[in-house]
Structure 1
């Protein structure tokens, strides 16, 4: 396996500025003072990613009520992200990282096992970032199903 960044509790969250599904720009630094959940998913409109995104959709109100913002990131272009958001009623920003730079900065891209083979790809991961811009929770190589319930439990939301 190749080396990849491994962020952990207390590390400074790498800043980013990415295009969302509506063509706007979302910068992590603009969200300082708030808790933010950033989840990395392999590809919009695929079964596992749809499950995870819809679970976050269903949890977004309690998370917002607890002062927690949700951001989804994949390599998909903004147009595909928009179709995904519209198709599934996703009420939070879906950000496009076409060159995987932010994925790499968070350790959410690299070698992984897929059906017994070692491949390079997106490592489904979720990071909770505290109001000061530090990693509060780093959850890597997670399963799509049941993951959001675990995040909510960790956050008490």
Structure 2
């Protein structure tokens, strides 16, 4: 006679699966170089399938970016510049750290490409400040505790974490490139190449 899983063991397995989907376990697929409109993580977020992802040519959402130092930047005020708005699950976790360090290490090339960078996650200002200080990040992080910026960019949520997706906004204020799947190790080089194109 086989044993049926208890409610407690089922809940424990579900909790462990959610934790693993944050930054500790990386996606194995290659980064999406070509834009796609297929929503990511639809299975993990039943509402993701209801909203089509932003795509190149769409106007960038005109959001207010609340930074870790208390300053606010309206995205439309950056018109005339290329802007990377990248979403990541959680400060100071393995994949998110690799991604942020890659952008940090490529900072000279990023500046030469005329690119501004804003990282977005749902942690608070203190968490963002600690992440910036620990890894000497040269770019600001957006405090999106209410998820408003994440929703504006139509990024799926996985529990309380934003999916790892990135958007390159062109000088004209329109989306130039979208990455719905991101390889943290290669993302900086991919973004720099797109900004130069």
User: Which interval holds the TM-score relative to the shorter structure?
Assistant: 0.7 to 0.9
Q: Which runs of 4+ in 1 moved over 4 A?
A: none
Q: Distance in 1 between matches of 2:55 and 2:68?
A: 29
Which 5+ residue runs of structure 2 have no aligned equivalent?
A: 1-41
Q: CA deviation at 1:87?
A: 0.5
Match of 2:135 in 1: 88
More strand by share: 1
For 2:106, the equivalent position in structure 1 comes to 59
What is the 5 A alignment of 1:1-157?
1=42, 2=47, 3-110=50-157, 121-156=161-196
The structure having more radius of gyration, on CA atoms, is 2
TM-score (norm 2): 0.71
- Which stretch of structure 1 is more off in the superposition, 17-26 or 28-37? 17-26
1:93-148 alpha-carbon deviations (Å, 9 max, x no partner):
1111111111112122246xxxxxxx674211111101111000011122322122
Structure 1 residues 4 and 143: CA distance shift in structure 2, 3 A: farther
Structure 1 unaligned blocks of 5 or more: 112-118
The TM-score with structure 1 as length reference comes to 0.88
Q: Which whole-Å CA distance do the structure 1 matches of 2:70 and 2:117 have between them?
A: 17
Q: Structure 2 CA distance, aligned partners of 1:121 and 1:44?
A: 10
Aligned length: 150
